[in-house]
C-alpha cells in the first residue's frame, strides 16, 4: 500500500521512480529544487510517516555529486532511496525541519564532498579538523 502512495507522490514531483535491483524497495531521482519539498510532502502523508531517514550521503558524479537519502519503512523494512544530482556550486535545502537529526549528516556530506547545504556551518569540522 505505501508503494502506491510513493508512486503517486513521485509522479506529483515529476521524479523518475524504479524498483531496486537486489532488495525490496524503490528508488526515485528528483530535481534539486524539489529535494526538501518532496520530504515535507512525504512526512505530511499519514501512511508514509513511518519512513524514517537512516542514511544521508553522497558520491561523485560527472556533474558534481549525487546526494542520496536512504529511508526505511519501519513496519516492513522496505528501502526507499531518493537521489538528487547537483553541481558543487549549488546549495541543497536542509532536511532538518523534517528530521532534526539530519544536521550532522548534512555536515558530513559538506565536509566529505564539498556539497553546500543550507544552514551548515562551514567553519565547523566534525571529521576533517583544521587544527589536526
Partner 1 sequence: MNTAIFHTPGLLSGSRHGGPFSLEMKEDGGVITGVALETGYTHRGIERCLQELNYYQGLLFCDRVDFLSAPACNAAFALAVEALGGVEVPDRAQYVRVILLELSRISSHLFFLFQLTKDLGAANISCFAVRERELYNDLFELYCGSRLGFGAIRIGGVVENATDGFLYRIENALLSTETFLAEIKDSFTHNPILRNRLEGIGLITKESVVKHGITGPNARASGVDLDLRWSSPYAAYSRMRHELVQLEYATGDAYARVLYRLEEIRASILLVKRALEKIPSGNHCNPVSMDFAPPQGDACVFVESPRGQFGVYIESDGSSRPLRAKFATPSFLHMRYAATLLLEERVEDAFILFDSLDVSVSEVDR
Contacts to partner 1 by CB under 8 A: 20-23, 52-55, 57, 59, 70, 72, 74-77, 79, 81, 99-101, 103-104, 125-129, 132
Give the relative orientation of helices 35-44 and 2-12 as an angle to the nearest 10 degrees: 140
At closest approach, how far in Å is the CB of 107 from partner 1?
Answer: 10
CA distances from 37 to 33, 34, 41, 46, 73 (A): 8, 5, 6, 16, 19
At closest approach, how far in Å is the CB of 27 from partner 1?
Answer: 9
Between 33 and 60, name the residue whose CB sits nearer to partner 1. 60
Between 30 and 109, name the residue whose CB sits nearer to partner 1. 109
Between 12 and 131, name the residue whose CB sits nearer to partner 1. 131
Hey, which residues does 67 pair with through a beta bridge? 58, 84
For cell 536512504, name the residue: 70
Amino acid at each position: 500500500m505505501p508503494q502506491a502512495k510513493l508512486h503517486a507522490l513521485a509522479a506529483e514531483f515529476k521524479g523518475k521512480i524504479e524498483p531496486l535491483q537486489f532488495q525490496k524497495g524503490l528508488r526515485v531521482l528528483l530535481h534539486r529544487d524539489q529535494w526538501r519539498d518532496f520530504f515535507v510532502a512525504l512526512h505530511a502523508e499519514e501512511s508514509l510517516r513511518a519512513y524514517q531517514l537512516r542514511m544521508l550521503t553522497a558520491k561523485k558524479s560527472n556533474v558534481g555529486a549525487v546526494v542520496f537519502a536512504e529511508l526505511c519503512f519501519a513496519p516492513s523494512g522496505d528501502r526507499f532511496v531518493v537521489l538528487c544530482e547537483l553541481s558543487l556550486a549549488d546549495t541543497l535545502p536542509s532536511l532538518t525541519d523534517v528530521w532534526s537529526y539530519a544536521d550532522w549528516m548534512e555536515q558530513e556530506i559538506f565536509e566529505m564532498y564539498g556539497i553546500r547545504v543550507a544552514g551548515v556551518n562551514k567553519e565547523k569540522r566534525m571529521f576533517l579538523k583544521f587544527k589536526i
